[in-house]
Amino acid sequence: MLPVYKVLYFGFMGKEDKALYKDPLQQLYTDYHVSEKAQRRIAFLHQDLSKKVADRKRLQRVIRTLNTQHKT
């Protein structure tokens, strides 16, 4: 389930973090055979989520934790 959270929280990331994690996100799409149509829908949801950030510091901690867990 960890990849699902990575895809979800990508929408909450700042521009700098999105640039950093765009390639790993694309790799997830490739690994799980996500269609182009689904990727466009996810991108739309990411745009919507980026407008709804309530507690950015908390989200950044969660994002760092998820990415750290994936590397180990």
Cα–Cα distance measured from residue 66 to residue 6, given in angstroms and rounded to the nearest whole number:
7
Q: What is the mean pLDDT of residues 38-55?
A: 86
**Which band of pLDDT confidence, cut at 50, 70 and 90, is reported for residue 54?**
low
> What amino acid occupies position 11?
G
Taking only the tens place, the pLDDT of each residue in 4-20 is: 888 988 988 888 889 99
The span from the CA of 39 to the CA of 66, in Å, is: 21
